[in-house]
Structure 1
């Protein structure tokens, strides 16, 4: 038997940082996919390969009800396999029968700029975690319903990131489509809430922009948390403003009020600049500001997507002519606008019998 799962990446449209404190945020799945394959191991031992991470045939041991055990202690390898470890531990704890050893292959080549080896900030680790849980549950004959599968992937990814981040990328990879995402519950016991939204095609146009440099989401979020602890009053003020702008944008999109949505994105971006200046965290970098100026020149609004500092940004326009003009200007300035589409499907799993 061979099991193949495929999960899409994500692009956050609105609500970064505010979502960590319970505000609603917007995210879309995009047509870049993590592919995970489980197939019978030729030597009856567990093995893991992920070419884009530089991992080939990494041996480990796994059995029902027990934690995964690796045979090496390389710190670099440990960091790269956190998602695998968290996902397989969660699955093994649920297994009710002996687990046949598998060779596991992970392909995240779609998350890189073709021919350049540069990774785009599109949520590859979350997509891998979602696909691992989906394929692993099928391989181990664990009867998870959709909610149980999502919760397992969500918890495993949070564990792999040491509880840093909101899990919004997991929601996009799992469910697909354009989503409103919110963390309910307490800080100690957050509970994700997901609502699928319709994108107003023909009325609102988006443009993803790669800034040319990568950024570490866990590092940026950790610095954000540190700022919150050291400057609680300032933190509260910034978060209230960001939460308000994000809530207004979510509501405007639900009601297809395009101008109000664009206003909310613009306000959110301006508040991110103030947070950047107050905290010293380079959320809105110099490059992001340059892109925003070019987008504004063509009647659009722009903001970083995700933790900021680098990686991806996203621009919005009320018509296609403005979108195309901005894309041409950005291209001439040396920026890359990846050909992304909003992906309506979430994780998909297929089984092939020998």
Structure 2
């Protein structure tokens, strides 16, 4: 039995802009994991089983008279896509395929099955890719795992930046810029998977960051789950009508995140906190022009309380629920802040940053 795990993630800054080329974001991997165990099947029939997802709900839309199921929130779609692409890669390495059982177990949801917004679809994709590569004895570095996982995830989701994939693969704090999606689609249609993976991907940048000493990350959960893929669809639909505002948002987000990266590189917590507040304001404006709810009242409450006790706070990820993050320092009264959160139905999540031990 082989077991591989991948951590969940949180966005710190650069959400929505990260979907475009040359727009960096900062993410962090947290010590909550999806574990995938794989073992040779003894019956000749393979099994894919998940403790969490046996009663999964499925979303659907009407297209004309057709009922169309939205599988992007169904974790099995990501597992199947990860299996398909990873096995295709193994076939190209002349590996004989066999039948196996996969067991998935996740910390990334609350005990009653609600999602925290930690990128469970990305983590389950990464853990599946890692488990299958190991099962077939393929020597894999982080770049191979990232690229196979990004292709598998994008195949199902059809949008997104794959920043959550990068956080799940590389761990720790990272600065991330997405790859050129049109380039990838063209390459996949015209080349072998191995050739695509061995190419340099235009635009892709993944850089590990070291947080300043004394900086503390706090996470509060709104107890309201959100759907990233649907929010991204809504904003994508508006891009053509908001050309100037959108370009302005991208350039301001880029400048903000670059300053924040500078704060990591110069050990400057105050600069990071200042840019967290700038990024919050940018996202609020972005939500307004797109008529979407990013900072729902519960998240506004989370942020207001954090600011009162000396933390710099904002929504994390697509918003509309899920988590808010706080960058705190030695002067932040963490205990009182968390107490105040609890009084307002905001759940402090006691997660740590997860560092990955490097394989080369």
Q: Do the aligned partners of residues 346 and 36 (structure 1) sit closer, same or farther apart at CA in structure 2, a change above 3 Å counting?
A: farther
> 2:195 maps to which residue?
none
Corresponding residue to 1:111 among 108, 112, 116: 108
TM-score, normalization by structure 2:
0.85
Contact 1:265 1:302 in 2 (8 A): yes
Contact 1:49 1:55 in 2 (8 A): no
Offset at residue 102 of structure 1 (A): 0.3
Task: State the secondary structure of the residue aligned to 2:9.
Answer: strand
Matches within 5 A, 1:166-177: 166-177=161-172
> 1:131 maps to which residue?
127
> 1:311 maps to which residue?
322
Q: Do the aligned partners of residues 252 and 145 (structure 1) sit closer, same or farther apart at CA in structure 2, a change above 3 Å counting?
A: closer
Task: State the secondary structure of the residue aligned to 2:204.
Answer: strand
CA distance in 2, matches of 1:197, 1:78: 30
Offset at residue 347 of structure 1 (A): 9.2
Task: State the secondary structure of the residue aligned to 1:39.
Answer: strand
Offset at residue 113 of structure 1 (A): 2.1
Contact 2:6 2:168 in 1 (8 A): yes
Matched, 1:41 2:41: yes
Offset at residue 186 of structure 1 (A): 6.7
Contact 1:44 1:101 in 2 (8 A): yes
> 2:217 maps to which residue?
206
> 1:142 maps to which residue?
138
> 1:324 maps to which residue?
335
Corresponding residue to 1:243 among 232, 246, 254: 254
CA distance in 1, matches of 2:23, 2:318: 15
Task: Write out per-residue CA displacement over residues 84-134 of structure 1, whole angstroms, 9 at most, x where no aligned residue.
Answer: 1211111221222321210111111x11223x3322111111111111111
CA distance in 2, matches of 1:148, 1:340: 28
Task: State the secondary structure of the residue aligned to 1:111.
Answer: coil
Contact 2:315 2:325 in 1 (8 A): yes
Task: State the secondary structure of the residue aligned to 1:126.
Answer: helix
> 2:13 maps to which residue?
14
Q: Do the aligned partners of residues 187 and 291 (structure 1) sit closer, same or farther apart at CA in structure 2, a change above 3 Å counting?
A: farther
Corresponding residue to 1:157 among 145, 153, 157: 153
Task: State the secondary structure of the residue aligned to 1:272.
Answer: helix
Task: Write out per-residue CA displacement over residues 218-252 of structure 1, whole angstroms, 9 at most, x where no aligned residue.
Answer: 01111111121222122112222222212211221
Q: Do the aligned partners of residues 13 and 45 (structure 1) sit closer, same or farther apart at CA in structure 2, a change above 3 Å counting?
A: same
Which 5+ residue runs of structure 1 have no aligned equivalent? 57-72, 349-354
Corresponding residue to 1:85 among 65, 77, 80: 80
Matched, 1:192 2:204: yes
CA distance in 1, matches of 2:115, 2:285: 28
CA distance in 1, matches of 2:144, 2:329: 39
Matched, 1:290 2:301: yes
Contact 1:295 1:326 in 2 (8 A): yes
Q: Do the aligned partners of residues 78 and 287 (structure 1) sit closer, same or farther apart at CA in structure 2, a change above 3 Å counting?
A: closer
Offset at residue 297 of structure 1 (A): 1.1
CA distance in 2, matches of 1:75, 1:294: 36
Contact 1:25 1:250 in 2 (8 A): no
CA distance in 2, matches of 1:25, 1:158: 18
How many residues align? The count is 327
Q: Do the aligned partners of residues 78 and 17 (structure 1) sit closer, same or farther apart at CA in structure 2, a change above 3 Å counting?
A: closer
Contact 1:7 1:347 in 2 (8 A): no
CA distance in 1, matches of 2:332, 2:290: 37
Offset at residue 55 of structure 1 (A): 6.8
Offset at residue 346 of structure 1 (A): 6.3
RMSD over equivalenced CA pairs, Å: 2.3
Contact 2:72 2:229 in 1 (8 A): no
CA distance in 1, matches of 2:83, 2:286: 38
Offset at residue 322 of structure 1 (A): 2.4
Task: State the secondary structure of the residue aligned to 1:38.
Answer: strand
